[in-house]
Each structure stands twice: as C-alpha cells, then as structure tokens.
Structure 1
C-alpha cells in the first residue's frame, strides 16, 4: 500500500521572490551562472554579427567552433543580454531566468536535433550546436536550481522553510523541552 501524507491547512503558497535575502550566499551562484553563460552567448552573437553572415543563411559559417547565421547571432545576443540582466539583478530573478532558459535550451536542442539536415533548420544548427545547447541548458538549470531544490536542503535554507512552515523536528523537540521546564507564567521550575 502506498502511504499518503496529509498536510494541514496551514501550508501556504511558496513565493520564491520573498524567501531569498539579497545577501544570501546562493545569490552568488545564480549571478555567476547567469554571467558566464550570458558573456559567452553575447560574444558568440557579436562575432556572428561582425562576420556579416546572412540572416537566414544556412551555408555553414562558423564562429567559435559553432555554426551560425544572422538570426542565431541576434538571438544569442538577446539571450546573452537577458542573462546579464539576471546577473545584475541577482537573487531569485537570476535563479528563475537560469532555470527557464536552461529548460528552453534543452528543448531547443531536441527540436533542432530533429531538424538537422532539413529545410526547416533556419538557425543553421549542426550537431556541435545541438550538443552546445544541451550542455548550456544543463549548466543553466544546475546554476538556477542550486540550493533551491533537493532532498537534503538544510533547515535554515529559505526554500526549505517556505515548504515547511512548521519548525524542523529537532527544533520542535527543543521547544517542547523548554515548555516542560517552564511553569504556567513562563517561570523555570
């Protein structure tokens, strides 16, 4: 039989924008992830635009070892700028941007894998672009989810506390022990 957990009605909806303090150590992880990927995509896009590659050209022009065309270059610049904005804002915004763009990169990798060597490959992707899309997607997701999801988050983690409004079991025992030692007016017996 499957065991079902019944949650009490005091559980509130998680709003991630309220739970991470601005100076929290996770903020650095989110910013670094967004910044590294953003700078690379921005440089890749700028080099592609500088080469004056046709906007929908699928001729096989390469920049930094990846195939590109004008459309992919402009798209890379836009995504790179979005990641840099996430880096500047930091916190939950950077984490969410990293996660969302990570998922989109992975989906894009699957989509373009199916479009290789077809007339619908308007971004001029080759297999190295597909692999790059998968790697960047996984890295962005890892940077975005770091400290936000997991089975062993520490009890002082703001995301753990948002999911578990009641005190952790150890803190509950300590609170009960303090109540046993105190009388009705809070005096120690």
Structure 2
C-alpha cells in the first residue's frame, strides 16, 4: 500500500510503544488472574484489576493478547505490523461489543466502562504502531516517498 509509510524514521519508537502495549496486557492479565482467583471463569461481579472490571476469562485472554503482541515485537520483520493491526481491529470489535452489552447478562468478560475505554484506547495505539512500523527495501521507501509527495 503506497500510503503506508515504509522505513519511517520513528519506527523503533513505535515498535517500543507496541511492546509496552503488549506488556500492559500481560501485567493487567496477571493481576486480573490474581484478583479473580477462586471465582467463576466468566463471573460478573466487582472483580477489578488496575481499576478495570475483569474476570478469569478476560484476564487469561489479556495475557494471551499481550504475549502475542510481545512475540510479534520481538520477532519483528513486519510480523509485528500484521499482528498489531489485526490485534487493533480485534480489540476494537471486542471493546465495542462489550460497550453494547455492558449492562446486560451478555457481559461475559465482566467489562466496566473503564475497561472499554482502556481497550479502545490501546487498540488505537496498536493501529498507529502497526501503520508506522513497516520495514521495507530502499525501493519501497522511495516509492512511498514519491506517492506521498504526489498526494
């Protein structure tokens, strides 16, 4: 895609930010597992971790999401770009679905409004990181520069 930057000068910073997002999910999930220990897997109670509603199911899902993001960040080679973009879109869907079912019995991940805000914010951060982290050849970088200047 010509409009996606290739070899952006701030690429290492964006990659580090992606790693921090993954680390946040791992820490939140681990704290959530500790807080939700002994409860039902999809409990809908007042269990919180870092001020966000959670249960054992969402805590374990958060750890999995964080590990996948961190693995992509460590591996690099544009795999992190694909993982960050897909995770961003997936988290947006999860966050918006949770918002729709917030006050119902369908809130199986025990989201609170703060959880929705954090998940949607982190998904936008991951999307930006995914868009600016692409690595390519010098020819691809030159083609991106030419396309950028034409617009």
Q: Name the larger-Rg structure.
A: 1
- Residue 117 of structure 1: SS of its match in structure 2? coil
Tell me which residue corresponds to 2:118.
132
Counterpart residue number, 2:94: 108
Which of residues 53, 59, 62 in structure 2 aligns to 1:73?
Answer: 59
Structure 1 outlier segments of 4+, above 6 Å: none
Give the root-mean-square deviation of aligned CA atoms: 2.8
| Cα distance between partner residues in 1 of 2:27 and 2:122 | 15
Give the unaligned 5+ runs of structure 2.
none
**Paired position in structure 2 for 1:35:** 19
Greater relative contact order (CA < 8 Å, ≥ 6 in sequence): 2
With over 3 angstroms needed to count, the CA separation of the structure-2 counterparts of 1:66 and 1:87, relative to structure 1, is: same
| 1:54, distance to aligned residue in structure 2 (A) | 2.7
Higher helix share: 2
The alignment of Structure 1 onto Structure 2 pairs a total of residues equal to: 140
Show the counterpart of 1:8.
none
Separation in 2, partners of 1:72, 1:120: 14
**What's the TM-score once normalised by structure 1's chain length?**
0.65
Q: Structure 1 pair 35/157, CA: closer, same or farther in 2 (3 Å)?
A: farther
TM-score of the superposition, structure 2-length normalised? Answer: 0.80
**TM-superposed deviation, 1:28:** 1.5
